[in-house]
């Protein structure tokens, strides 16, 4: 028997109406209650598992318009010689949406990559520098220094010079950040396959006013970043692991949990439901 308030969250109906529903995170559902007490009555709970969105193709950047609402799609921010031009288009596109009344940012299935593209999009959208709120520490190694100076890192020469002048093997920063004023209502679509740099994007978007995250919880892979390949000195085996730690909202470990949405909606239908919400609310 469960206290129902513990499992209450906001959702969207197929008609685009915001209502309360029973929501929870679980590995296999076996730990979830079968009943709950509501208004002194026992009700039976029939849990349905949300499934991640299955995109038809990997889209680094795409746009569309439905009922007058601009939809930006980003499924990856992985740098490569083939993707760099499209990613730069995405990063610079933020400015063109500054005057939108509402906007849908579809990040479902985004497998991360380089979060600098997300930061550039935000700065262009806001028209100003974006003060990040986070606690960050980075291992300064030859691998990291090589990465910083590579074309795909997007770090500027000032940062590279600063890194070169560091004598401590670790650098740490606590950035206070602040809530950002934003008049455009942004619906951000997510699922459990939103990971890594895409979760950085979510964390930064959450500091803007009038942003609603819609879908399921994200993948929970944002704590360890700047992942590189290494060879073990004796066995010569190749391993891959993170070289930095980042916390956005306190020191709670979000690995495997991710960020919770504001509106719990099955990711496979979240776009349709949000469009109906916009129509219901007069945002179309």
Three-state DSSP string of 69-82: EEEEECCCECCCCC
Number of folded domains that form the chain: 1
62 has a pLDDT exceeding 90: yes
Which comes out higher in pLDDT, residue 63 or 139? 63
The domain containing residue 199 runs over which residues? 2-133+176-222+258-281
Please spell the DSSP secondary structure of the chain, one letter per residue.
Answer: -EEGGGGEEEEE-TTS-EEEEE----SSSTTS-SEEEETTEEEE-----------SS--SSEEEEETTEEEEE---B---TTTHHHHHHHHHGGGGGTT-SEEEEE-TT---B-HHHHHHHHHHHHTS-----EEEEEE--HHHHHHHTSGGG---HHHHHHHHT--SSEEEEEE---PBP--SEEEEEE-TT--THHHHHHHHHTTBTTEEEEES------SEES-EEEE-TTT--EEEE--EEEESSSS---TTT-PPPSEE--TTTHHHHHHHHHHHHT--
233 has a pLDDT exceeding 80: yes
Q: What is the CATH number of the domain that holds 197?
A: 3.90.226.10
In this prediction, what percent of the chain has a pLDDT beyond 70? 92
227: in domain: no
28: in domain: yes
CA dist., res. 50 & res. 48, Å (int): 7
Short-list 78, 83, 84, CA closest to 195: 78
138: in domain: no
β-pair type (18-22, 8-12): antiparallel
pLDDT of 94-144, one tens digit each? Answer: 999 999 999 999 999 999 999 999 999 999 999 998 888 888 888 887 777
Q: Which two tokens stand for residue 198?
A: 């895409």
242 has a pLDDT exceeding 90: no
User: Which stretch of 39-48, 197-206, 212-221 has the lowest confidence by average pLDDT?
Assistant: 39-48
Average pLDDT of the residues of the chain: 89
68: in domain: yes
116: in domain: yes
177 has a pLDDT exceeding 70: yes
79: in domain: yes
215: in domain: yes
230: in domain: no
Residue 142's Cβ-count burial label (10 Å; 0-12, 13-18, 19+) is exposed
Contacting residues for 159 by C-beta, under 8 A, at least 6 apart: 148
pLDDT of 1-25, one tens digit each? Answer: 456 678 899 999 999 999 999 999 9
């Amino acid at each position: 028997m469960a206290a129902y308030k513990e499992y209450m969250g906001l959702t969207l109906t197929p008609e685009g109406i915001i209502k309360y529903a029973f929501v929870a995170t679980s590995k296999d559902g076996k730990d979830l209650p079968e009943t709950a007490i509501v208004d002194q009555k026992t009700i039976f709970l029939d849990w349905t598992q949300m499934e991640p969105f299955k995109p038809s193709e990997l889209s680094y950047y795409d746009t569309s318009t439905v009922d007058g609402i601009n939809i930006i799609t980003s499924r990856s921010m992985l740098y490569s010689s083939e993707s760099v031009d499209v990613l730069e288009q995405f990063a610079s596109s933020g400015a063109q949406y500054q005057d939108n009344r509402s906007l849908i940012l579809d990040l479902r299935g985004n497998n991360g990559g380089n979060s600098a593209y997300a930061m550039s999009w935000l700065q262009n959208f806001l028209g100003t520098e974006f003060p990040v709120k986070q606690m960050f520490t980075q291992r300064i190694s030859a691998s990291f220094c090589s990465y910083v100076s590579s074309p795909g890192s997007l770090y500027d020469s000032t940062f590279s010079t600063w890194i070169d002048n560091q004598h401590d093997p670790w650098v740490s920063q606590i950035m206070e950040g602040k809530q950002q004023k934003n008049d455009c209502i942004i619906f951000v679509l997510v699922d459990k396959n939103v990971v890594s740099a895409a979760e950085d994007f979510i964390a930064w978007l959450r500091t803007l006013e009038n942003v609603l995250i819609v879908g399921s919880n994200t993948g929970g892979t944002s704590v360890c970043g700047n992942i590189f390949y290494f060879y073990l000195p004796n066995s010569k085996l190749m391993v891959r692991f993170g070289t930095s730690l980042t916390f956005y909202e306190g020191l709670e470990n979000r690995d495997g949990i991710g960020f919770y949405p504001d509106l719990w909606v099955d990711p496979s239908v979240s776009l349709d439901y949000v469009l109906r919400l916009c129509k219901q609310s007069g945002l179309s």
